[in-house]
Amino acid sequence: MAEERLQKILSQAGVASRRHAEQLMAEGRVVVNGSVVTQLGSKADFERDHIKVDGRLLRPPKHLVYIALHKPTATVSTVSDPENRDTVMDLIRGVKERVYPVGRLDYHSEGLLLFTNDGDLANAVMSSATHLPKTYLVKINGALTADQEQRFREGVPLSGRRTMPAGLKLIRQAENPWYEVKLHEGRNNQIRIMFKHFGRLVEKLKRVRIGPVDLGPIKPGQFRYLDADEVEKLKRAIQVKGIQVKGEQVKGIQVKKERSKA
């Protein structure tokens, strides 16, 4: 097997996303053949070299696993939290394979969050080049005008750069209405900031879809395995955007109930 960047190897092994893998290396937690490696450009051969993270020898995953979690509010979308808050990892106990979250949802948001040990797919889903659409249901404290709705769709200034065109549809008219929002990018707190631009505050935010994958009927704190058809559709959606991922056999669908923390 040819040498590859350590970040990619750690991602393929299901240790972390490439960005988190870089952090692990910078912290001196990655060892290759007995030597600590902190240089981000370093390469290794997964089959030939002995690679350890926190003293644990890495091996290629025996099975690729794809999980959909309904993240509840008041939960952090990271593997660990320095403030000791509840993390999404607490909700997927019982999964034998080592998986990690694909992207994030902020602390006060709920909805669909994917987990996998397939590093190639995870990186493709998170890549800014993919522009994989993500759909949200959002409740705000007052309706937008028709003009504001159109300006929202066209994009608003955010940190010196205009947001990409977005989908926006009023789905429940009320004093505090619900909108469906579809984004093709994932900038930090983007939806909350976009509505705030028009003087509106987000009261509830729930992600219901990532590309072709729906949240489905699972309740906050529950997860299920994606079936092979869902994984194939997700891979095809990514490939349409020009990013190739490897095809592997996946586990069948399963639902596991956990204590809701919503």
Q: What amino acid positions are annotated as catalytic residues?
A: 106
Query: Would the CA dihedral through 168, 173, 178, 180 be positive or negative?
Result: negative
Distance, CA of 67 to CA of 181 (rounded, Å): 23
Residue 21 has a CB neighbour count (10 Å cut-off) of 25
With b for 16 or more beta-carbon neighbours within 10 A and e for fewer, the 154-169 pattern comes to: eebebeeeebeebebe
Q: Could you tell me if 255 and 218 are in contact, meaning their C-beta atoms sit under 8 angstroms apart?
A: yes
Identify the CA nearest to 207 among candidates 228, 226, 182.
182
- Whose tokens are 């349409």? That residue is 240
The number of residues making up the chain comes to 262
Q: Could you tell me if 153 and 166 are in contact, meaning their C-beta atoms sit under 8 angstroms apart?
A: yes
Distance, CA of 24 to CA of 10 (rounded, Å): 10
Query: Would you call 116 helix, strand, or coil by DSSP?
Result: strand
Distance, CA of 228 to CA of 240 (rounded, Å): 18
Task: Please report which helix (H) or strand (E) contains residue 11, including its range.
Answer: helix 6-12
Task: Please report which helix (H) or strand (E) contains residue 56, including its range.
Answer: strand 56-57
Q: Could you tell me if 28 and 38 are in contact, meaning their C-beta atoms sit under 8 angstroms apart?
A: yes
User: Bridge-partner residues for 233, per DSSP?
Assistant: none
Query: Would you call 248 helix, strand, or coil by DSSP?
Result: coil
